[in-house]
A = this chain, B = another copy of it.
């Protein structure tokens, strides 16, 4: 079987899950809390939370703070997860960008 060696340095490798999946499995399910109840606690609409949970919306800075309050977690960690997710998708288009080097 043939294998291919690929560059690793600038690659993130594992398509990071959208943060919504983490909210669902690490926050809602362990507490037995549903979408409706969680949305009420967070102070957002059920639609807004549902969109996040299903990867159709990102975690805004304000939402990160809301999550940190409701689940006693770090707002920074939620926002960092979103950043990693966004960055991975942006890196997928790296080769399409026409950018000239100024240093390096």
Show the binding face of A for B, using Cβ within 8 Å: 27, 31, 33, 38, 40-43, 60-62, 64-66, 69-72, 75-76, 79-80, 83-84, 86-87, 89-91, 93-94, 97-104
Contact = CB atoms under 8 A, between A and B. Distances in A.
Nearest to A12: B76
Contacts of A83: 76, 79-80, 83
Contacts of A65: 87, 90-91, 93-94, 97
Contacts of A101: 41, 69-70, 72
Given A40-B100, A70-B102, A71-B102, 10 more contacts: A27-B102, A43-B100, A61-B87, A62-B93, A65-B93, A72-B104, A76-B83, A76-B87, A79-B86, A80-B80
Contact of A72 (B70, B72, B103): B103
12 contacts: A27-B102, A27-B103, A61-B90, A62-B93, A65-B87, A65-B90, A66-B99, A70-B102, A71-B103, A71-B104, A72-B101, A75-B87
